[in-house]
């Protein structure tokens, strides 16, 4: 059960990289928004499936959140190489996870 949970999170972490970008660029912490976090997790799973047969995929999350300035959107492309790099980094971090 724990292995399955951790494995799912390892493969979800690459799209969470988008949360860091959002936080850095817009000052918005998407990890505190449960609905945004769910959408990011679903997008990570879709990207993983797409990248199993493609070299890149588009990530489109319109209206991921809103601020006083209006709605915020995520529109980007991720390559298989970048996805694998992020997964490798995430995997390395979680290898030391005590369970």
| Stronger pLDDT, 10 or 76, i.e. the higher one | 76
> How high is the mean pLDDT of the chain?
77
Query: What is the full DSSP assignment across 70-90?
Result: EEEEEEEEEEHHHHHHHHHHH
Q: Where are the domains of the chain?
A: 2-95
Task: Name the residue among 59, 56, 46 with its Cα closest to residue 84.
Answer: 56
Please state, in angstroms and rounded to a whole number, the distance separating the CA atoms of residues 2 and 58.
31
E-state strands within 1-99: 56-67, 70-79
pLDDT digits (tens, 9 = 90+) for 14-52: 666 777 787 888 888 887 888 988 888 888 888 888 989
User: Is the predicted pLDDT of residue 71 greater than 90, yes or no?
Assistant: yes
Q: Which CATH class is domain 2-95?
A: alpha beta
What's the pTM?
0.69
């Amino acid at each position: 059960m724990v292995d399955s949970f951790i494995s799912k999170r390892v493969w979800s972490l690459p799209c969470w990289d988008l949360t860091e970008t959002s936080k850095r660029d817009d000052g918005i912490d998407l990890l505190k928004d449960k609905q945004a976090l769910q959408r990011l997790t679903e997008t990570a799973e879709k990207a993983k499936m797409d990248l199993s047969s493609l070299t890149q995929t588009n990530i489109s999350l319109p209206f991921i959140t809103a601020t006083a300035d209006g709605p915020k959107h995520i529109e980007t492309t991720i390559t298989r190489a970048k996805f694998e790099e992020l997964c490798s980094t995430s995997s390395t971090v979680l290898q030391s996870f005590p369970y």
